Homo-oligomer: A and B are copies of this chain.
């Protein structure tokens, strides 16, 4: 019954044709469900295929047709639940259209990202969904686009690139975040993100179409509109590793005039920041207030529950996949999934501690 040979050669159309006593062309037609095939030939071929355990070779199919059935997904860090969930959305949506997902993790490294694009293009994926780790180094994406490959950007857009981008607009919700902190009385609010940027953040710096731009901009605007002071030096980017994150926290917390509130750009950052806060023995929200982006289950279970900005990550993934599929000529629902973030107020934001103005921190 079962072949013993380890390198069991797979049966090919030619094998099936031979077994069924018809031409290769006819067997291929019967198997592939195209062209004209008589009942008789059909059943002969189907029986032979069954008997030989024929399984079409997707590689050969892709090669001849030029159409691939896989799409490439490039993310900075699958460990990040944000991407995990998005990936799930992509995967679910794309599967219905008959595609599989080739995943590459870049560790938030632009070079690795460029390499991944190359590799996936060589693998002739039908299209690419990329969560770019840099808003500035984009040559590889442009080149992919130029080669006529469908590319969809996820989360982060890039100015001046005519690439489809799926991202949610954080302007409003970020403004809300700013106001919440402002109203609570905070004047020194930190922002921590893993976004790659060559230099430290400054006022009005172009962060591309990154959500970070929206989010920082929103807070800034809230303060500006209220005529309140806003310190851009408390925006800490490049916190992609444990070390850099720790450094960012140190800069925010271990200074004469520490931040009294910190906004975390995603749940992974939040986890790290929370750890740093805990290590210093600071209490939330008495000593420091915290707001995080992404509403994952655990944010409600920590003490105190975190005030967060919820975003429909799963649907964002689906939407990215839909945009891509559309570009590939598939029929997908025309309406766009509503991708609106909203603020979930819980208990991690409070009034800043009354401090002496002498500038010497009094904790620890």
Interface residues of A (CB under 8 A from B): 2-3, 5-8, 10, 55-60, 62-63, 68-70, 77-79, 81, 84-85, 87-88, 91-92, 95, 100-105, 118-124, 146-148, 271-272, 274-275, 278, 297-298, 300-303
Q: Which residues of B contact A121 (CB under 8 A)?
A: 55
Are the CB atoms of A102 and B105 closer together than 8 Å?
no
Q: Which residues of B contact A79 (CB under 8 A)?
A: 81, 84-85, 88
Are the CB atoms of B147 and A58 closer together than 8 Å?
no
Q: Which residues of B contact A69 (CB under 8 A)?
A: 123
Are the CB atoms of B124 and A58 closer together than 8 Å?
yes
Separation in Å of the A64 CB from the closest CB of chain B?
10
Are the CB atoms of B301 and A148 closer together than 8 Å?
no
Q: A84-B81, A91-B78 given as contacts; is B102 within 8 A of A104 (CB)?
A: no
Cα–Cα distance between A301 and B60 once the two chains are bound (Å):
51
Cα–Cα distance between A339 and B205 once the two chains are bound (Å):
46
Q: Which residue of B lies closest to A297 (CB)?
A: B271
Are the CB atoms of B124 and A8 closer together than 8 Å?
no
Are the CB atoms of A8 and B81 closer together than 8 Å?
no
Q: Which residues of B contact A85 (CB under 8 A)?
A: 79
Are the CB atoms of B55 and A59 closer together than 8 Å?
no
Q: Which residues of B contact A78 (CB under 8 A)?
A: 78, 84, 87-88, 91
Q: Which residues of B contact A301 (CB under 8 A)?
A: 271, 274-275, 278, 298, 302
Separation in Å of the A243 CB from the closest CB of chain B?
16
- Smallest CB-CB A-B distances: 4 pairs: A303-B303, A298-B298, A271-B297, A58-B122
Cα–Cα distance between A60 and B86 once the two chains are bound (Å):
31
Separation in Å of the A129 CB from the closest CB of chain B?
13
Are the CB atoms of B100 and A101 closer together than 8 Å?
no
Are the CB atoms of B59 and A148 closer together than 8 Å?
no
Q: A8-B146, A79-B81, A147-B8 given as contacts; is B101 within 8 A of A57 (CB)?
A: no
Q: A2-B146, A79-B81 given as contacts; is B122 within 8 A of A57 (CB)?
A: yes
Cα–Cα distance between A151 and B155 once the two chains are bound (Å):
35
Cα–Cα distance between A88 and B3 once the two chains are bound (Å):
35
Cα–Cα distance between A6 and B149 once the two chains are bound (Å):
9
Cα–Cα distance between A84 and B120 once the two chains are bound (Å):
21
Are the CB atoms of B101 and A3 closer together than 8 Å?
no
18 contacts between A and B (CB under 8 A): A7-B148, A8-B146, A8-B147, A8-B148, A55-B122, A59-B62, A69-B123, A77-B88, A78-B78, A79-B84, A79-B88, A81-B81, A84-B84, A91-B104, A100-B102, A102-B103, A302-B302, A302-B303
Q: Which residue of B lies closest to A80 (CB)?
A: B84
Separation in Å of the A160 CB from the closest CB of chain B?
16
Separation in Å of the A138 CB from the closest CB of chain B?
15
Are the CB atoms of A103 and B84 closer together than 8 Å?
no
Q: Which residues of B contact A6 (CB under 8 A)?
A: 148
Separation in Å of the A151 CB from the closest CB of chain B?
13
Q: Which residues of B contact A62 (CB under 8 A)?
A: 59
Q: Which residue of B lies closest to A69 (CB)?
A: B123
Question: Which residue of B55, B88, B303 contacts A105 across the interface (Cβ within 8 Å)?
Answer: B88
Are the CB atoms of A122 and B56 closer together than 8 Å?
yes
Question: Which residue of B63, B68, B84, B122 contacts A63 across the interface (Cβ within 8 Å)?
Answer: B63
Counting chain B CB atoms within 10 Å of each CB, the highest count among A57, A63, A78 belongs to A78
Separation in Å of the A127 CB from the closest CB of chain B?
14
**Besides A81-B84, A100-B120, 9 other CB < 8 A contacts?**
A8-B146, A8-B147, A8-B148, A58-B123, A79-B84, A91-B105, A101-B102, A272-B297, A298-B301
